[in-house]
């Protein structure tokens, strides 16, 4: 996490509902002899949507058929899942054993069922009725609890989604919901309410995919940020951005539009117990790599547009002014936080460094103004 979520951020009621239906089914299965409606809860006199919706019922039936025959083994399976509902502990303590479904048949049946619950059942009208909520409604509550920010809390570089005027919560678009523990490897948590965080599309689909936060590529356990309250784990306080301009000779023969040799994101001041979690966040979501590319590509143009300097003294003064106060919208506007870190770094540089930089920015401003003149007068 770049930014922590507010303590009042709610968990999604639809997933609370579906997860409790799954646990109820597994508990009721311990002593049942037949697959029947008694394995499901009634809601206000109506059968559970997990029973009344035929495709969902069929996936529960497949899981039923895969369950061990001996009652004690079913009890053990239920205990394995029911006793590991607090998933936050896995993110801090690598000694805490992760739940293992010993039977491959149960694992596959569980994966098929919970994938269906996540992709289909969650959106049924009866599910929304019985859960008394919806994912769309949860997304709006999530935003509201976080100062109406639509910024992705994982990266600070992209929006989650955008609301449109004059529409109800149900009609608004919503963000992707990332499975914190991916559904392929942790199917028992595919509808666990503590396993979801709204993220931008790049964090969820492009960067993370099915990567495992709790294990490295060799299968070794590791610690990682847990995104939901009460945890407040994040790394923005330790983030620094350093830039190295190209040498003058490189610029004369090179490409002026990209005057930086390097932009570099560092977390060198992070405490030793937080650093390993930052390393996992970097590896999984690739945020520093995205930030470094963005800053390198847009360096002069962004500073010229953001500070609108008129000469070197103005540039220097604006830099100090911007660096000394975190902008109000650093947790709601894309990239704002990262550019603030750039200004902080620049404001500490000596006059020679800044004068060289100014000549590049000034060139960018003039080039842009020449382009505008051509457009107007040619
Ligand atoms: Zn993101």
Whether 251 and 356 map to the same domain: the answer is: yes
Taking the centre of ligand 1 as the mean of its atom positions, its distance from the CA of residue 120, in whole angstroms, is 25
| Domains in the chain, number | 2
Half-sphere exposure of 130 (CA within 13 A, CB side): 28
- Closest to 224 (Cα-Cα) out of 255, 197, 184, 259: 197
188 CA to centre of ligand 1 in angstroms: 25
pLDDT of residue 59 exceeding 90, the answer is yes
Q: How confident is the model at residue 29 (pLDDT cuts 50, 70, 90)?
A: very high
Looking at the structure, tell me whether residues 358 and 291 fall in a common domain: yes
What is the pLDDT at residue 361? Answer: 87
Residue 214 in any domain: the answer is no
For the chain, the average pLDDT equals 93
150 and 63 share one domain:
yes
Q: Is residue 169 part of a domain?
A: yes
Provide the pLDDT confidence category of residue 371 given band limits of 50, 70 and 90. Answer: low
Q: What is the mean pLDDT of residues 138-160?
A: 96
Q: What is the pLDDT of residue 258?
A: 72
pLDDT of the residue at 376: 56
**300 C-alpha to center of ligand 1: Å?**
24
Q: How many residues does the chain have?
A: 378
Whether residue 71 is contained in a domain is answered as: yes
3-state DSSP of the chain: CCCCCCCCCCCCHHHHHHHHHHHHHHHHHCCCCCCCHHHCCEECCEECHHHHCHHHHHHHHHHHHHCCCCHHHHHHHHHHHHCCCCCHHHHHCCCCCCCCCCCHHHHHHHHHHHHHHHHCHHHCHHHHHHHCCCHHHHHHHHHHHCCCCCECCCCCCCECCCCCCCCCHHHCCCCEEEECCCCCCCHHHCCCHHHEEEECHHHHHHHHCCCCCCECCCCCECCCCCCCCCCCCCCHHHCEEEEEECCHHHHHHCCCCCCEEEEEEECCCCCCCCHHHHHHHHHHHCHHHHHHHHHHHHHHHHHHHHHCCCCHHHHHHHHHHHHHCCCCCCCCCCCHHHHHHHHHHHHCCCHHHHHHHHHHHHHHHHHHHHHHHHHHHC
Distance 158 CA to ligand 1 centre (A): 6
Q: Which two tokens stand for residue 171?
A: 């009609």
Pair (178, 93) in one structural domain: yes
41 alpha carbon to ligand 1 midpoint, in Å? Answer: 38
Rounded distance from Cα 315 to ligand 1 centre (Å): 31
Residue 219, in any domain of the structure? no
CA 116 / ligand 1 centre spacing (Å):
26
**What separation in Å is there between the alpha carbon of 209 and the centre of ligand 1?**
13
Rg, the chain, Cα only: 26
Question: Angle CA(239)–CA(154)–CA(297) in degrees, nearest 5?
Answer: 65
Report the distance separating Cα 302 and Cα 358, nearest Å. Answer: 13
In this structure, the answer to whether residues 164 and 262 fall within a common structural domain is no
Same domain, 248 and 201: no
Q: Are residues 307 and 243 in the same domain?
A: yes
User: Residue 295: what pLDDT?
Assistant: 95
Please tell me the predicted confidence (pLDDT) of residue 209. 87
pTM metric for this prediction? 0.92
Q: Do 256 and 139 fall into the same domain?
A: no
Q: How far apart are CA 247 and CA 237, in angstroms?
A: 31
User: In this structure, is residue 215 part of a structural domain?
Assistant: no
The rounded Å distance from CA 339 to ligand 1 centre is 16
Task: Indicate if the pLDDT at residue 102 is higher than 90.
Answer: no
Ligand 1 centre from 11 Cα, in Å? Answer: 19
pLDDT at 118: 96
CA of 338 to the centre of ligand 1 (A): 13
Q: What percent of the chain has pLDDT over 70?
A: 95
Q: Is the pLDDT of residue 257 over 90?
A: no
* Candidate from 55-64, 115-124, 247-256 with smallest mean pLDDT: 247-256
> 60, exposed or middle or buried, with CB in 10 Å at 0-12, 13-18, 19+?
buried
Q: Ligand 1: distance of its center to the CA of 98 in Å?
A: 27
Q: What percentage of residues in the chain have a pLDDT greater than 90? A: 83
pLDDT digits (tens, 9 = 90+) for 177-205: 889 999 999 999 999 999 999 999 999 99
Q: 176 and 37 share a domain?
A: yes
pLDDT classification of 47: cutoffs 50, 70, 90: very high
Distance from the alpha carbon of residue 265 to the mean position of ligand 1, in angstroms? 16
Residues 256 and 115 in one domain: no
pLDDT of residue 246: 79
| Inside any domain, residue 220 | no
pLDDT at 375: 61
Residues 328-354 pLDDT 10s: 999 999 999 999 999 999 999 999 999
Lowest mean pLDDT of 44-58, 229-243, 297-311, 355-369, name the range.
Answer: 355-369
What mean pLDDT do residues 67-78 have? 96
Do 294 and 186 reside in the same domain of the chain? Answer: no
Do the domain assignments include residue 218? no
Predicted confidence band of residue 377 (pLDDT cuts 50, 70, 90): low
Q: Which of 211, 138, 190, 191 is nearest to 169 (CA)?
A: 138
Q: How far is the CA of 146 from the centre of ligand 1 (A)?
A: 15
Distance 340 CA to ligand 1 centre (A): 18
Give me ligand 1 centre to Cα 152, in Å.
5
Q: Which of 192, 208, 224 is the last residue of a domain?
A: 208
Could you tell me if 127 and 244 lie in one domain? no
Give the structural domain span for 322: 236-377
236 pLDDT more than 60: yes
Residue 38 lies in a domain: yes
pLDDT score for 366: 82
């Amino acid at each position: 996490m770049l930014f922590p979520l507010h303590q009042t951020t709610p968990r999604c009621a639809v997933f609370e509902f579906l997860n409790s239906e799954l646990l109820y089914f597994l508990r009721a299965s311990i002593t049942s002899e037949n697959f029947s409606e008694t394995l499901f809860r009634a809601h206000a006199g109506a059968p559970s949507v997990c029973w009344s919706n035929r495709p969902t019922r069929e996936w529960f039936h497949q899981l039923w058929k895969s369950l061990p025959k001996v009652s004690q083994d079913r009890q053990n399976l239920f205990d394995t899942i029911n006793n590991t509902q607090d998933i936050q502990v896995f993110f801090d303590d690598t000694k805490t054993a992760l739940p293992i479904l010993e039977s491959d048949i149960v694992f596959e049946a569980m994966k098929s069922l919970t994938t269906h619950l996540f992709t289909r059942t969650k959106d049924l009208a009866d599910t929304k009725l019985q859960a008394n909520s919806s994912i769309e409604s949860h997304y709006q509550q999530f935003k509201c609890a976080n100062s109406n920010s639509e910024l992705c809390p994982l990266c600070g570089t992209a929006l989650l989604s955008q609301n449109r005027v004059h529409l109800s919560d149900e009609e608004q678009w919503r963000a992707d919901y990332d499975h914190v523990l991916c559904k392929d490897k942790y199917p028992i948590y595919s509808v666990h309410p503590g396993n979801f965080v709204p993220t931008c599309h790049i964090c969820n689909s492009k960067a993370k995919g099915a990567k495992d936060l709790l294990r490295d590529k060799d299968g070794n356990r590791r610690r990682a940020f847990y995104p939901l309250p009460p945890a407040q784990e994040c790394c923005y306080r330790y983030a620094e951005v350093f830039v190295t301009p190209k040498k003058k000779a490189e610029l004369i023969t090179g490409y002026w539009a990209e005057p930086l040799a390097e932009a570099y994101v560092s977390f060198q001041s992070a405490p030793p117990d937080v650093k390993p979690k930052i390393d996992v966040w970097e590896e999984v979501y690739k945020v520093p790599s995205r930030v470094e590319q963005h800053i390198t590509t847009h360096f002069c143009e962004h500073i010229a547009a953001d500070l609108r300097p008129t000469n070197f003294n103005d540039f220097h003064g604006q830099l100090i002014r911007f660096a000394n106060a975190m902008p109000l919208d650093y947790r709601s506007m894309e990239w704002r936080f990262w550019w603030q870190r750039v200004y902080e770094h620049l404001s500490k540089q000596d006059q020679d460094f800044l004068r060289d930089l100014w000549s590049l920015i000034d060139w960018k401003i003039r080039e842009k103004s020449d382009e505008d003149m051509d457009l107007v007068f040619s």
